[in-house]
Structure 1
């Protein structure tokens, strides 16, 4: 008997969304009363810690119900300076900050060396610092420690406190490590732009009047680029060896399942396996949604990871494009609209799209193999290689041309027996268009990356391709091919 019967029964007892809404309706008024009670004065206005002073301060970030006086609120948040406090004004709770209840606020304990609960008296004055956290944007008055063993460079002082400075020479704003991690994950999972992410933080701070919150969008843009570069160098081991710098494609992940001698295949594989069985299968495809506009001042562009990921190094590739003979004629074979539209000249674009290489079976991007298109897809590959000073092919490599099954029907009838994947030894049951599934999420970031600088766009595209490969790497062997059956 097939064991799936138990699964079918469990699906019948599963609560649907409509079932949950029907359960909620009789309790709606009760839920409203609870929420209104939470907006009333807590603990009859008495401080829950000292019990003597009036407790008119509550915290939305702390768990449970709390009411504090000014001194107890500051003491309770010495190590939580980014919590959202509210003050009872006689009628309702309104937004408030630690700064309003202390001369220095709670942030002074972060920047000064502590001895018990006291701070050394030797201080280097006070500074106003805007700190951006995942819960909002905060203004704090901080005291810079002047102890002999303290860090003299303020930007390093902030960094050791897990605050990333927005300036090295004169930091006046900083971003917590937490908010930078949140931004990178939001960008990867939700395809959120930096503008939308910072606007969300402003709404977290003051949802009624977000325009009154200081605008540090530009600081977020430059700090997040540096943070991404540092995180990648740490994850790939280059931070642990300061004398070693990443080379082309060294900050990229490759497919873990494709045959790689010395990694998942013995060096003597030729003695055990047939060559067609362990043949590496790659596909190349273009994405003409990932366009890039021309920059006003390209000479001012600064790169942090040029050619270290999936995009090729820009300098040699540009030289190759200039030296190559660009004869773009409309193909008489294929009438696919994407190719024809890509060959149209657009004077305002630096790149009309990108061309990528991925393994045909698993859909992992190949490191240092993604390029920008200036007009369209190149269909004379061998000719371009022979004419270029920068391109070369190993003598042992053999390229078998083929056409993906989706596009094959738009070609001539003669192309079917010559380029169909059904007749190529070692191709297996693949459609040859797995890159199309990778372009779908990729296209969500294309409008944002379109107007970035060349280097910034390259870093963002590398990050999304790296994330795509990582997800395949950790999920590729999670489930068996067939579910178990009980006979």
Structure 2
């Protein structure tokens, strides 16, 4: 209540009601107060108020009418802004001013003000624009300006836009309401002038910070990307690398490698309004966007380029590059970032016209590294498995000197970001993994995603801009993004080092403990196998099981070959193809989504494809949605999960009226058999690894820390076992339905109902007791518990291996050893990279040339 009372007190005269005289002159009544001065409740006479605000012409003043305060202005009290030059240390030019303006508007952080303004009349003060600039006022035009903005308000808006992503209109409307919250709509006539001034301000600030004001040639000598802030922790030959960096040993070359990450953003669209002729922009390829004329020449010249069909899962970026682009001049942007430090690369951003096409992403990639003398490159892209295949052939075909590089002597490793990798096929998970690739440390390749999260709020107003204004705005924001990353680099690297060093020690010890419990000869053989694969990826992969059986990948490959053969022989059933997709591809994608259930957008895209093959499901889904909505009206459902979306695979549509052919059911039947075998194989492999972990824990774990660490690993392994079991049970239930429909039961011989008690390791007499069944102890006598029978999952029914095959045990342990070794190597590399990045970032040569 006290706060409310004092707030209301400021609406009136307070103590001045009893002492009405002006406290400064003590001659006449004080009837004016300033809302912006500290202690704004003080009432002064008009003459004293004007004298006190000669150097504060933008404060808001009110006058007491006898019953209330009303808005007035310092201009009415006689305050004028005197421009000109200083005659001496204490006074301005006193020459009479023939040039005056009583209708001048200045936009300031306190609002929008009409002021009286006098220009210098001695001839030495410069032009009107120069006089305004020297007073800290940015003129809206160079010809008889009538509007200006203070440097303070332009800087305030720029910082506010960095953090809140507010538009110029929103900020201006706030200033107008600050000026007059009742009639603020009338002040919109100065919005266009303020918009122009903000564009000019941000551009000139960028040029100033890039050092262009000290170049005798000015902006005419600007080179592409010169205004972009560079990442000081990345390698820059001639700036932060030793002179002999090219002569470094092979095992140290990765310290001077460039880590790049590519991605596209479809939130940053631009509507099909304005044009390059009307709005060319101020920054002509000097920061992050490619030089637009050269880039669009490349796009138009190669527009008819065809892309290879994806050999991995159906990536939208590869198979469906025509994302929603109707009504847009740009469907999004593509960019190349520094993968380890999350900073935008110069000249590595460009507009996308029709989705994420290779011709766009190729240009940005090559433009970001053209002219670089570096030798090693690690390139992260969520479709790198497909995009990299013919990249050098495409570069030659472009015949564009802007992006042509000499690939001789350069070594590039293409990888898939860690978050995106699980959605790829098994081969990609083994070949393009950051975790399994040497010399990459703990890089995750997801840098662009973090940058998009910061830039996406800009989409609300940049989509309405012209092409040039949008590029200038995004360039300015990405420069600020890089600046904040640079300022925080010391803290970030310190925090990462505090994490990396203990993890390096811990993973080294884990590898040593594991190898101590293994046969020395086996470790030597596996090490040789791993090193051979690291030197040649075509060699046997130590992370890959050689015992495929009839797993899902093999079944999918067989179905694809059969479909291709039928198509070549013109025997393809018309109902099995929709567009360029075969029914087997749809079912394979469905099995993946059923297992993942985390990619909502991909699930809905798959559902749209499914209804083309099975139109009857559209009614079923509409009924589901209606029922769910009706239940939600009476009993709200708290946050429906993606996993609640029913996919309605052919094996699950028996209860609804959907026409299915026996051929479609047979396709899913074969896929489900492969899925069940694969899941069963994974369960067996994980149980064998758990056996080995238990044995290692019993033999080597000593103390609370070691036992806790081992327990955490075993708990994580148990979670993987439960997921594999759930996958097997889903496949088994589907086979029950399909088996009845197709009248096939041969699968029942090898694939039985998996109960919880069936998920146990081999008995102790074979390879130890993985389930750690403690024998009951009695006080008077010890009773030997009978050994449990071998679980059916270990009994070979038509498969090659014998029950408890030693080869299976060795392979499972080999894969676990390879993963443990990879973890230890990645953390060691991470520590080395962090140390080298610190040396890069603190190089005195780079500091002197860094912009």
1:471 to 460, 463, 484: 484
Cα gap change, 1:281 to 1:47, in 2 (>3 Å): same
Match of residue 344 from structure 1: 323
CA distance in 1 between partners of 2:99 and 2:311 (Å): 75
User: Is 1:279 the counterpart of 2:257 in the alignment?
Assistant: yes
Q: Secondary structure at the match of 1:164?
A: strand
User: Is 1:387 the counterpart of 2:394 in the alignment?
Assistant: no
2:291 to 303, 313, 322: 313
Q: Secondary structure at the match of 2:138?
A: strand
Cα gap change, 1:125 to 1:181, in 2 (>3 Å): closer
Cα gap change, 1:475 to 1:78, in 2 (>3 Å): same
CA distance in 2 between partners of 1:338 and 1:193 (Å): 31
Q: Secondary structure at the match of 1:140?
A: strand
User: Is 1:292 the counterpart of 2:270 in the alignment?
Assistant: yes
Question: Any conservation in 2 of the 1:339–1:376 contact (CA below 8 Å)?
Answer: no
Cα gap change, 1:284 to 1:268, in 2 (>3 Å): same
Q: Secondary structure at the match of 1:156?
A: helix
Match of residue 437 from structure 1: 450
Match of residue 177 from structure 1: 151
Cα gap change, 1:112 to 1:433, in 2 (>3 Å): closer
Match of residue 374 from structure 1: 353
Question: Any conservation in 1 of the 2:83–2:120 contact (CA below 8 Å)?
Answer: no
Q: Secondary structure at the match of 2:157?
A: helix
Cα gap change, 1:216 to 1:332, in 2 (>3 Å): farther
Deviation at 1:195, TM superposition (A): 0.6
Cα gap change, 1:358 to 1:296, in 2 (>3 Å): closer
Question: Any conservation in 2 of the 1:112–1:143 contact (CA below 8 Å)?
Answer: no
Q: Secondary structure at the match of 1:100?
A: coil
User: Is 1:261 the counterpart of 2:237 in the alignment?
Assistant: yes
2:114 to 106, 130, 139: 139
Question: Any conservation in 1 of the 2:270–2:332 contact (CA below 8 Å)?
Answer: yes
**Structure 2: where are the runs of 5+ without partners?**
359-386, 503-851
User: Is 1:193 the counterpart of 2:184 in the alignment?
Assistant: no
CA distance in 2 between partners of 1:211 and 1:271 (Å): 68
Deviation at 1:326, TM superposition (A): 2.7
User: Is 1:40 the counterpart of 2:12 in the alignment?
Assistant: yes
CA distance in 1 between partners of 2:292 and 2:192 (Å): 25
Deviation at 1:444, TM superposition (A): 0.4
CA distance in 1 between partners of 2:93 and 2:125 (Å): 16
Cα gap change, 1:476 to 1:255, in 2 (>3 Å): same
2:140 to 148, 166, 169: 166
Question: Any conservation in 2 of the 1:288–1:338 contact (CA below 8 Å)?
Answer: no
Question: Any conservation in 2 of the 1:113–1:147 contact (CA below 8 Å)?
Answer: no
CA distance in 1 between partners of 2:188 and 2:270 (Å): 30
2:335 to 356, 360, 373: 356
Cα gap change, 1:271 to 1:175, in 2 (>3 Å): same
2:66 to 60, 82, 90: 90
Question: Any conservation in 1 of the 2:93–2:120 contact (CA below 8 Å)?
Answer: no
User: Is 1:450 the counterpart of 2:463 in the alignment?
Assistant: yes
Question: Any conservation in 2 of the 1:335–1:411 contact (CA below 8 Å)?
Answer: no
Question: Any conservation in 1 of the 2:325–2:353 contact (CA below 8 Å)?
Answer: no
CA distance in 1 between partners of 2:466 and 2:216 (Å): 28
| Deviations 1:435-467, CA, capped at 9 Å, x for gaps | 111101110002211121111111111111111
**Greater helix proportion:** 2
Cα gap change, 1:212 to 1:373, in 2 (>3 Å): closer
Q: Secondary structure at the match of 1:456?
A: helix
Please identify the structure whose Cα radius of gyration is greater.
Answer: 2
Deviation at 1:353, TM superposition (A): 1.1
Cα gap change, 1:340 to 1:110, in 2 (>3 Å): farther
| Deviations 1:291-343, CA, capped at 9 Å, x for gaps | 12223443222331111001110011111111114325664534455776752
2:224 to 248, 253, 258: 248
**Structure 1: where are the runs of 5+ without partners?**
1-28
CA RMSD of aligned residues (A): 2.5
1:301 to 256, 279, 282: 279
CA distance in 1 between partners of 2:111 and 2:160 (Å): 16
| Deviations 1:157-179, CA, capped at 9 Å, x for gaps | 22222111111112111111111
Q: Mean Cα displacement is larger for which, 166-175 or 346-355?
A: 346-355
Q: Secondary structure at the match of 1:53?
A: coil
TM-score calculated relative to the size of structure 1: 0.87
Deviation at 1:116, TM superposition (A): 5.0
CA distance in 2 between partners of 1:475 and 1:36 (Å): 44
Match of residue 202 from structure 1: 176
Q: Secondary structure at the match of 2:431?
A: helix
Cα gap change, 1:406 to 1:210, in 2 (>3 Å): same
CA distance in 2 between partners of 1:330 and 1:456 (Å): 37
CA distance in 2 between partners of 1:75 and 1:157 (Å): 23
| Deviations 1:380-416, CA, capped at 9 Å, x for gaps | 5334311113221233322222111221122222211
Match of residue 433 from structure 2: 420
